[in-house]
Structure 1
């Protein structure tokens, strides 16, 4: 693994057991994140993005059918760690998660300052005064008045609550922060404010981010690289400039064609059809039924092919590339 690589995920699976059968939410996902890099995981609702975050952070429900794969954080093999050691040494210490709904992540009857200092008090055994001093630092960092330390979550706006949750994630100075739809419930101006905070944190602290979103416009603000998910798999990984300017996978191309643009006469084109059920995904290419470029070979499951440095596409159209 390169010295610059912070996180490497190889063949990660997360399947749920339900009454209707096994849901293959994350099905053989591989990618890497370098230090001081922002990877955007982009895709439609239900494609497995949030399940990927849960698998990485071990925030798992009870109905797990299978969790497998290899996850390296630096030189540490995370899948080999016991739950106790993962909680003590990794969770909220080296990796932190910003949940999708900020109000669900906060205790409504506890002042936000007490919630922000909790990781320091529990995991690092810091005295309360030292932990509160650190909370003041991170509040200033994310643009929240320190007066809000004594407020309850319901006294804050949605944007302020999201910044508080971000402060909770940053208080232990983790190497990697995973953000699950951090701006989905916010107005456009507040979204822009949150994204500006993230860009400043990346620039000033060198923090690495995984941003999970379905919003192409939001993702372009922060992304160094993009991983596009479809039906539990990653179908394209590439540098952000390559992805937004010249997407390779047919799904990537159709997704970008569906996005409205200010300085473009061509109207957005919707993607026809629906994603397949993750209870019984197709044995071949999972995008084939919606793909205008499908051909006979698409009845087989495609490999992931390399197209130059750090770009991979899961599509038979690129079978001339180097196989993963």
Structure 2
């Protein structure tokens, strides 16, 4: 019998109010995450990945038009917590986040070690000495010399600053860490080094991760499962091995066909067309205009089809009644 998930997300929605209208950035997203599991959320720029992360962490801008759904962390339904209780009981202590472009998030006039230790001093009331000792432990875990604790951010390279921000997220030993494009501004060797550090943390601290990225190659290093996002919705969720070798959704297949491979002569194939406008998303399947398998039922919003124990796909091609002409 499978244990209850660490995180359960049900029918999550986040819409923004702008001068041009309402943007449906996250629209009916559901998934779960087991303990000590790494879930990679893939998708093109603008599909709602970062908005989903910010909604999970409750770090939202002021122009919110609508939010909905349920988020459960362990036995705690997060929607029942006030902002103050969420900040004290969940943020950093149970769930932390490494923001996109986080290398620029460090205070330039405060030493790195002090910034990494700060969550322990603020949330747990630890002494400076005890908090700095823990910061040194986490620096070692992420592969940074403890000598850098006494440095200022401008004295660190981009890769070192990224590791420092990761250490800050890990210092309070949260159950879940959300990583939003953590390697996007780094060179290939530094990306590999950061991913190795994440794998070591996952193994040694029993930490769960949600990695948000559009980089298929980087995501494959850490992923236990993959969730593919398109136009504010999850279109496929399954084990990483299955996704990278036998994806089920047409978008998943076309995405994998667009990735260059070292040991194959087949050239990458670009995905034609453009994602839909989230100010006015089309009725029915949002990928239909770009899909080579489009047929009549795609004019209706697809149901989420279960293909295996934890394999879900949002596509009429996998609905038996549709293939038999029932719709």
Q: Give the paired residue count.
A: 321
User: Aligned equivalents of 1:66 and 1:161: distance in 2?
Assistant: 35
CA offsets, 1:179-200, max 9 Å, x none? 0000000000000000000111
Tell me which residue corresponds to 1:296: 296
Report the alpha carbon displacement of residue 217 of structure 1 after superposing the two structures with TM. Answer: 0.2
Tell me which residue corresponds to 1:239: 239
Tell me which residue corresponds to 2:267: 267
1:113-192 equivalences under 5 Å are 113-192=113-192
User: Aligned equivalents of 1:316 and 1:104: distance in 2?
Assistant: 44
User: Aligned equivalents of 1:268 and 1:204: distance in 2?
Assistant: 37
User: Aligned equivalents of 1:117 and 1:202: distance in 2?
Assistant: 21
Q: Secondary structure at the match of 2:172?
A: coil
CA offsets, 1:68-110, max 9 Å, x none? 1111100000111110100000011100001111233211121
Q: CA RMSD in A?
A: 1.1
Matched, 1:200 2:204: no
Gaps of 5+ in 2: 322-327
* Contact kept in structure 1, 2:284 and 2:302, CA below 8 Å: yes
Moved over 4 A (4+): none
Report the alpha carbon displacement of residue 153 of structure 1 after superposing the two structures with TM. Answer: 1.1
CA offsets, 1:157-192, max 9 Å, x none? 110000000000000000000000000000000000
TM-score (norm 2): 0.97
Tell me which residue corresponds to 2:95: 95
Tell me which residue corresponds to 2:308: 308
Gaps of 5+ in 1: none
1:35-46 equivalences under 5 Å are 35-46=35-46
TM-score (norm 1): 0.97
Report the alpha carbon displacement of residue 3 of structure 1 after superposing the two structures with TM. Answer: 2.6
Report the alpha carbon displacement of residue 269 of structure 1 after superposing the two structures with TM. Answer: 0.3
